[in-house]
């Protein structure tokens, strides 16, 4: 019997909903608790308990991440009208991810898990491309007017010391108007989160806007990134032998497609929305995409990028076995354990998480996988397992290397 690895600081554990809640307990029971003397501060973000606590549990969980530094989160339902009925909810609670992101002032980084036997659609990509999306402002909180007649559109700022206005367009007839904003504070937090994460991953950071066209708005993003870099990160980047590269958005798109990956790509809100869908799909499967929320203060929250896999859950409720892919949820756990290990200088914990990740990738690359990967796999010679059998095989593999 091997002795279980001790932890000094607990992880903030946030349980969730539906099929991913099932994956959550299987992963813990089969792959973590037998090897690690797991310490967590547990929050149940399952929809029923969120409803019971008037969503306060979500706020408490976010505060706990601030206190302890590292959290791991299961996918959760963001309720819509159907869910309000299905769960008989008191209110249509907000997205837990949105609530946590607002409290931590964090940036989300999405990173694909790469496998030798599943080729991305872009053949040259052999390293991950991590996308960081600035999740504040721009067109997502824009105000708009539908113009129906002849008239003048103006942009007006009313300040404490003075006012400023500019004519946008003198309309001869119908059209549309839009005004959007961002704040220096939010852009600066975004920049810091990106620089911090690039150093953490030892990856080059690329950032792009359209500052040649948007000489005030986009240019402000460029200036803030350059200023934060010069003042706070340049030296550490040099020491880590990584680069910060600023260019135009169309140039960066061309470079990403021609390149072989291995970059952290910081995107403005809209660019990140669009490009993260492109990159995720080009790498193959949503079930192989992980997600990390990083705050400017260096707090981390790990999760899978996919949702609660509702369709599989309804099959599970009928007693059927499903071949739901647990990899992204597993990597949320290993990501959090690795980070905890690093922060606490607990090498055994970090090594364990690395071994677990490697065992998982080896198992799939040797041809044992869930159904979603089998359909993307190069080789015809694959063994498709249901989730439970896959995790059991992984446990055997992990035991052989511990």
- State which residue, 115 or 304, has the beta carbon closest to Mg ion: 304
Return the one option of Mg ion, ligand NAP, none that residue 277 interacts with (CB less than 5 to 8 A, by type). Answer: Mg ion
Contacts of 280 (CB under 8 A, 6+ apart): 110, 112, 286, 289, 305
Give the shortest CB-273-to-Mg ion separation in angstroms. 4
| Angstrom distance (rounded) from CA 62 to CA 68 | 10
Q: Which tokens sit at 14? A: 């946030």
Report how far residue 336's alpha carbon sits from residue 131's, in angstroms, rounded to the nearest whole number. Answer: 19
Binding partner of residue 107 among Mg ion, ligand NAP, none, CB cut-off 5 to 8 Å per kind: none
Identify residues 63-122 at the interface with ligand NAP (CB under 6 A).
75-78, 97
Question: How far apart are the C-alpha atoms of 129 and 196, rounded to whole Å?
Answer: 17
**Per rule CB under 6 A, is residue 386 in the interface with ligand NAP?**
no
List the single partner that 77 binds among ligand NAP, Mg ion, none, CB under 5 to 8 Å by kind: ligand NAP
Would you tell me how many other CB atoms lie within 10 Å of the CB of residue 171? Answer: 16
Q: Which span (73-81, 102-110, 272-280, 359-367) binds Mg ion, by CB under 5 A?
A: 272-280
Residue selected from 204, 273, 297, 389 as contacting Mg ion according to rule CB under 5 A: 273
Interacting residues with ligand NAP between 347 and 376 (CB under 6 A):
372
Q: How many CB atoms lie within 10 A of CB 110?
A: 21
Nearest residue to Mg ion by CB is 273
Q: Which of 253, 255, 297, 346 is nearest to 6 (CA)?
A: 346
Q: Tell me how crowded residue 311 is: count the other CB atoms within 10 A of its CB.
A: 12
Give helix then strand counts, H and E, for the chain: 15, 16
Binding mask 324-343 for ligand NAP (x = CB under 6 A): xx------------------
Return d(Cα 221, Cα 347) in angstroms, integer: 38
Query: Measured from the CB atom, is 273 or 389 closer to Mg ion?
Result: 273
Neighbours of 351 (CB within 10 A): 14
Which of 325, 368 has the CB closer to ligand NAP? 325
Residue nearest to ligand NAP (CB): 307
Q: Where along the sequence are the contacts to Mg ion (CB under 5 A)?
A: 273, 277
Q: Where along the sequence are the contacts to ligand NAP (CB under 6 A)?
A: 75-78, 97, 286-287, 303, 306-311, 324-325, 372
């Amino acid at each position: 019997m091997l002795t279980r690895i001790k932890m000094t600081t607990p992880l903030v554990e946030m349980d969730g909903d539906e099929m991913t809640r099932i994956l959550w307990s299987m992963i813990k029971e089969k792959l973590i608790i037998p090897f690690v003397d797991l310490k967590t501060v547990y929050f149940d973000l399952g929809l029923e308990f969120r409803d019971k606590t008037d969503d306060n549990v979500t706020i408490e969980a976010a505060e706990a991440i601030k206190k302890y530094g590292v959290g791991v989160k299961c996918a959760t339902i963001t309720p819509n009208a159907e869910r309000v009925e299905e769960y008989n909810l008191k209110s249509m609670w907000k997205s837990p991810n949105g609530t946590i992101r607002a409290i931590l002032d964090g940036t989300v980084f999405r990173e694909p898990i790469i496998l030798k036997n599943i080729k991305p659609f872009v053949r040259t990509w052999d390293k991950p491309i991590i996308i960081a999306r600035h999740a504040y402002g721009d067109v997502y909180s824009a105000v708009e007017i539908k113009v129906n007649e002849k008239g003048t559109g103006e942009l007006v700022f009313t300040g404490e010391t003075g006012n400023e206005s500019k004519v946008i367009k003198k309309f001869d007839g119908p059209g549309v108007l839009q005004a959007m904003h961002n704040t220096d504070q939010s852009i600066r937090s975004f920049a810091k989160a990106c620089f911090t994460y690039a150093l953490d991953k030892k990856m080059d950071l690329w950032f792009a806007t359209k500052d040649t066209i948007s000489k005030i708005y986009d240019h402000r993003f460029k200036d803030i990134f350059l200023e934060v870099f010069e003042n706070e990160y340049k030296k550490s980047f040099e020491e880590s032998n990584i680069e910060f590269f600023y260019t135009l958005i169309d140039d960066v798109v061309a470079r990403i497609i021609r390149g072989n990956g291995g970059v952290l790509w910081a995107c403005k809100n809209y660019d990140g929305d669009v490009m993260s869908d492109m990159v995720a799909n080009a790498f193959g499967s949503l079930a192989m995409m992980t997600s990390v929320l990083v705050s400017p203060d260096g707090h981390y929250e790990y999760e899978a990028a996919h949702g609660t896999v509702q369709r599989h859950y309804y099959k599970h409720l009928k007693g059927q076995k499903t071949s739901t892919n647990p990899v992204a949820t597993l990597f949320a756990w290993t990501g959090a354990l690795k980070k905890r290990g690093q922060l606490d200088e607990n090498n055994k914990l970090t090594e364990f998480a690395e071994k677990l990740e490697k065992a998982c990738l080896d198992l799939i690359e040797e041809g044992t996988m869930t159904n979603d990967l089998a359909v993307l796999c190069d080789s015809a010679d694959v063994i498709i397992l249901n989730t439970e059998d896959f995790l059991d095989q992984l446990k055997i593999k992990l035991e052989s290397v511990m």
